[in-house]
Structure 1
Amino acid sequence: MLTRRLLAALCFAALAGCAKEPAPTVNYVLLDGSKASSQQWAGKVMLVNFWATSCATCVKEMPQIIATHGKFKDRGFDTLAVAMSYDPPAFVARFAETRKLPFGVAIDNTGAVANAFGPVQMTPTTFLINKRGEIVKRYVGEPDFAALHGLIEQLLNEA
């Protein structure tokens, strides 16, 4: 009879060799009214951050997300902040304007984008996607930004 610990180790070992999960294909509307799609992410390393203006951790981490975007944006990296369906659009627009968010901000009015990614139920939840459109890492809560930057460097250096 296998112990739980051994069973967990075998499951982890089996999963380690598996292919990464592809990012879902989603369509969304940015704050400026323009329509966009995850298909536009091809060839880029993407950080997709699900957040809400009512989430204290989301507000706290946003300056670091802005800094991360600024550090890597000229090297094939992009960021999308997806506001949750329950976040009032006026609050999201005001937040994006007052904080001068330098990346795309989408309001997920129907919850379709969050559902496609999981579903995402807790904020912040952040996904790091490689150039091939595969989810490399999912963070629930604030990421360790130094480790995140190291992983972004690795992904940007991949062919």
Structure 2
Amino acid sequence: MDEESLRRKLAAIESLFAGAATSGEREAAEAARERILARLKAATEAQPAVEYKFSLGDEWQRRLFVALLRRYGLEPYRYRGQRHTTVMVRVPKRFVDETLWPQYQQLAATLRGWLDEVAERVIREVLQAEGGGVEEKTARPQLGPGGSGPATPSV
């Protein structure tokens, strides 16, 4: 998947969550955004915003989630002492459950797939080797006399 394909796919995901009905409408990302903003406004009028804490797995997931929040006019923050991958936001529960979190999950899966594909291609091209999985062993080797064994560096 090239960058343009990724952009189209991400826009189509937003359109899906906005309730786009036609293929032409799916291409209109701004119209989708407006429908989602209207949904957010309706959810805010129906129930109060509550504070949510999202603990995201890595920097890429955090960047994507923060961008999605800002796209819909929501203000992400974190408290002093929280991890950099923690994002706080005040938003109605209904909007989180029906739109924000499911949309984020699909966007994150799409972006992760693209990043994995690019990383694997670059690793293969630069190192001329596959970077995929590793062999799984059934048991750890026994420690030799004196309790020393192979070194296991921590990362």
TM-score range, shorter chain: under 0.3
- Mark the structure with the bigger radius of gyration: 2
- Name the TM-score, length of structure 2 as normaliser: 0.27
Higher relative contact order (CA 8 A, sep 6+): 1
Higher helix share: 2
- Name the TM-score, length of structure 1 as normaliser: 0.26
